[in-house]
């Protein structure tokens, strides 16, 4: 993985969209890795019992997947110095799985600090699921 | 019981230390679909200047949530966790979380506000290793109001 160069990066640059599958198994793996065992992310009957349409992905899984895409674009996870988002809609994960689409756009580049601000868009079924998802990335 | 606004501004004693292993990092990276070798290959991580494999940018939430427990599980906080949804999350990384780290976390309740019958609580966790800042994790949770709220 090669590192991105500030001098070769400008506002308006894009990456993706890439499609990332998310299944119930993905959510069990995320629950085990993160310690967030809330049953709304694993148990269909429980999720429907509290008024959700079906099992939903952890918001932090979705943000994590966005973080993986930004890290790959930047050239390494250590390049992501700030990362924030709002959670605007859940990703519904039926028994046969779902898919999110992740894309990024460079909003600005600070040539002196060699840092770029990237806005990440994540959609599921055409709906934006993250709001103001912004990463500040250290470039070379 | 409604959310107790008296907790605004309160800081909690440091919690931890939480040991971070290479296996923890690899499992988290796999779960969020990252094949970045910095998570999986210590040689690659060392060549990039790290002591060992490093965590993905959102891994810190797993530590911050353990620090949150002292607050959200305090009966006096008035937080009904079955009504909680995650509203916002932000990380500021001072250096990557690295395998072998023993992380302490200090939680502060930055704000508690009400809107439309819901309560919005913003907490901040300062994660440190050996007294040095590693990551500032800020989280806003929404406690949905109910008929008894």
Give, for all 149 residues of chain B, the pLDDT tens digit.
689 999 999 999 999 999 999 999 999 999 999 999 999 999 999 999 999 999 999 999 999 999 999 999 999 999 988 888 899 999 999 999 999 999 999 999 999 999 888 999 999 999 999 999 999 999 999 998 865 43
> What is the C-alpha radius of gyration for chain B, rounded to an integer number of angstroms?
17
The Cβ-side half-sphere exposure at B106, using a 13 Å CA radius, reads: 12
Q: How far is B140 from chain A (nearest CA, A)?
A: 9
Neighbours of A5 (CB within 10 A): 11
Give residue B60's region: left, alpha or beta (phi > 0; psi -120 to 50): alpha
Q: β-strands A98-110, A115-124: how paired?
A: antiparallel
Which candidate from B31, B57, B65 shows the least CB-CB separation from A80?
Answer: B57
pTM for the full predicted model: 0.96
Interface of A with B (CB under 8 A): 1, 20, 26, 29-30, 32-36, 50, 59-61, 63-65, 67-68, 70-72, 76-78, 80-87, 135
Q: How far is A45 from chain B (nearest CA, A)?
A: 16
Cβ distance A30 to B31 less than 8 Å, yes or no, reads: yes
Cβ distance A68 to B56 less than 8 Å, yes or no, reads: yes
């Amino acid at each position: 993985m090669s590192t991105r160069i500030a001098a070769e990066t400008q506002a308006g640059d894009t990456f993706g969209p890439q499609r990332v599958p998310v299944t119930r198994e993905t959510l069990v793996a995320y629950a085990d890795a993160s310690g967030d065992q809330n049953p709304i992310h694993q148990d269909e009957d429980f999720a429907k019992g509290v008024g959700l349409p079906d099992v939903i992905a952890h918001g932090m899984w979705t943000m994590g997947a966005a973080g993986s895409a930004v890290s790959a674009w930047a050239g390494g996870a250590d390049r992501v110095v700030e990362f924030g988002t709002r959670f605007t809609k859940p990703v519904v994960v039926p028994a046969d799985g779902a898919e999110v689409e992740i894309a990024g756009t460079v909003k600005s580049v600070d040539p002196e600090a060699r840092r770029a601000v990237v806005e990440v868009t994540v959609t599921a079924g055409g709906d934006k699921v993250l709001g103001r998802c912004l990463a500040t990335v250290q470039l070379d | 019981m409604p959310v107790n606004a008296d907790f605004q501004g309160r800081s909690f004693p440091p919690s931890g230390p939480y040991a971070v292993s290479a296996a923890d990092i690899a499992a988290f990276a796999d779960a969020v679909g990252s094949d970045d070798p910095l998570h999986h290959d210590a040689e690659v991580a060392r060549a990039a200047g790290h002591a060992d494999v490093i965590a993905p940018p959102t891994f810190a939430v797993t530590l911050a949530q353990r620090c949150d427990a002292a607050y959200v599980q305090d009966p006096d906080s008035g937080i009904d966790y079955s009504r909680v949804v995650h509203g916002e999350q932000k990380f500021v990384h001072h250096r990557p979380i690295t395998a072998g780290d023993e992380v302490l976390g200090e939680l502060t309740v930055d704000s508690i506000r009400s809107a439309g019958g819901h309560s919005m609580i913003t907490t901040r966790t300062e994660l440190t290793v050996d007294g040095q800042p590693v990551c500032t994790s800020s989280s806003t949770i929404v406690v949905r109001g109910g008929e008894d709220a």
